A and B are shown apart, each in its own frame.
Chain A
Amino acid sequence: MAQPPPQQPLRTLPPPFNTSAESFELIAQGAESLLYRTTFLSPAQPAALKVRPQKTWRHPTLDKRLTRQRVLAEARVLVKLSGEGIVAGGGGRKVKDPKKKNDGGGDNGGVGALRGLVPAVLALDWERGWLVTEWIDGVTVKLGIYQRDLAADEGVLRGLLGRIGRVVGLLHLAGVVHGDLTTSNMMLRPTRTPGTNADAMARAEEERGEVEVEGGLEGDIVLIDFGLATQSVSDEDRAVDLYVLERAFGSTHPKEEGQFDEVLKAYGESMGKPGKVVLRRLEDVRMRGRKKSMLG
């Protein structure tokens, strides 16, 4: 405390981070929150700290309530997803018909396959407005596509799009819609077998910068930023989720737009029967846009 901190964070962090000696690297800033890369539980363990700063123009009581709701909604969705397939008795709300679950994602287990493909919640403080999650290694899908090796076979891109569709399908099957699906909200994490010693070693290697993925589109798709996620199994919400992704993809990756069908195809496959209904609904949503008209 005697020395001034080496790099003062841009904004005042909430306690206990305001007196921390760790480094905070500002990764992203939105209207709602600031995202920092820092460490958690061990100096060797990188973590993402999402801070929702106070909005001074709002009434303090309202501000507290909204912040609390939003931090908790995000954390609850993440914890729910991280319990996919291991929580005894399905955990809370039942997701459609379990039989239908088995229709989808047969290639890789389906149920529970999403666990590990979302960041783990490590800590939160809904009163102070912060959430710490596991740090996801790798680049965003957006960057991955921008940097991709154009000489490579088109099949590589199609493979990636297929994995995106599959993950979104698993997410919807788990009873969650993301609310802001874009290629910036998906990470391309170097593949590793989770939960093994090799995993720990891979982490250590990544720490030392020995493993770098560049130009390739390999890796697990990990969904991030569940700030707008909601628990829903409605076809409309699912279709809008896909529509948002479709539009975002088209504008972020115009050259690849034509291959977006690959995402929808894989989505349909991993979702099974309910997926067909959602894809039909998507056509309606395309005709009218994201917002359902409340007129007439």
Chain B
Amino acid sequence: METVSLPHLPDYPLHICLFKDVNNAPFLRQQLLEGNTDFEYAFLDASILLSRNQVLAACFRAINDLLQDRLKSRNVHSEIVFSLSPNNNISESFRRFGVAETSRHILAVKVGGVQSQIEQHLKGSVEGNLVPLTDEQFAELRDESRLRKVYKIGATGNEAEAFVIGSMALKGS
């Protein structure tokens, strides 16, 4: 698990875990659907993530929108999922970027909270292998063709990052 303190948002530390080969995605999805308050996380399907900076940019946008009181979804965690999307369709963004029944690799993000508790809870609830949060890992886990389709891009390497992050930032304008 990694705890990231985004510059300019010191009061909102991010606790992030990247799990590879997760066995219980349907269970995790169920907790979100039921609104289980023990599972207030952003569970992202890691196969559709491009880079670490992309994830952090989504978190920044979600927290900033929270602070500005203009969340488009229920809470800051669902907003992180929504922030990744290049368009304004909320349910589509959950479908594409959130945990699905078939998700194999999952990125869990928690805004705020006590690190040790979150780590313990996540490790106990997500059946998968914890791997480091690096661009190399994202490259290994991602589904190139889905990523291309979602962002309408022809390349999925680092050269696409600027366009992807830019599109996320412009969303809703």
Contacts and interface: CB of A to CB of B under 8 A. Distances in A.
Contacts of B63: 16
Given A75-B170, A115-B162, A21 B10 contact: yes
A41 B154 contact: no
B159 A16 contact: no
Contacts of A41: 6-7, 53, 56-57, 60
Nearest to B157: A195
A87 B9 CA distance: 32
A78 B160 CA distance: 13
A75 B166 contact: yes
A89 B161 contact: no
Nearest to A49: B8
Contacts of A43: 5, 7
B7 A20 contact: yes
B57 A16 contact: no
Interface in B55-74: 56-57, 60-61, 63-64, 67-68, 70
A238 B116 CA distance: 58
Contact of A86 (B4, B7, B64, B154): B154
Interface in A88-121: 88-89, 91, 115-116, 120-121
Interface of A: 15-17, 19-22, 38-43, 72, 75-76, 78-79, 82-83, 86-89, 91, 115-116, 120-128, 134, 194-196
Contacts of A82: 162-163, 166
B7 A39 contact: yes
Contacts of B8: 16-17, 19-20, 22, 38, 40
7 contacts: A16-B8, A19-B8, A20-B10, A75-B170, A76-B170, A83-B167, A195-B161
B154 A40 contact: no
Looking at chain A's contact residues, the main secondary structure is: mixed
A43 B4 CA distance: 10
A88 B152 contact: yes
B68 A79 contact: no
Nearest to B173: A72
B61 A123 contact: yes
B53 A195 contact: no
Q: How large is the interface on B (under 10, 10 to 19, 20 to 34, 35 or more residues)?
A: 35 or more
Nearest to A17: B8
B152 A22 contact: no
A195 B158 contact: yes
B64 A120 contact: no
A244 B89 CA distance: 42
B155 interface: yes
B62 to A, nearest CB: 11
B111 interface: no
Nearest to B161: A120
Given A124-B170, A194-B158, A83 B163 contact: yes
Interface string B1-31: 0001111111000000000000000000000
Interface string B132-170: 000000000000000010001111011111110111011
Nearest to B5: A43
Contacts of A22: 7-8
Nearest to A83: B163
Nearest to A82: B162
B9 A16 contact: yes
Interface in B66-120: 67-68, 70
Contacts of B61: 123
Contacts of B173: 72, 75-76, 126
B10 A123 contact: no
A125 B68 contact: yes
A210 to B, nearest CB: 23
B153 A123 contact: no
A88 B154 contact: yes
B153 A124 contact: no
Interface string B40-61: 0000000000000100110011
A7 B8 CA distance: 15
B57 A123 contact: yes
B162 A16 contact: no
Given A76-B173, A121-B165, A122-B57, 7 more contacts: A42-B7, A42-B56, A87-B163, A115-B163, A121-B169, A122-B165, A196-B158
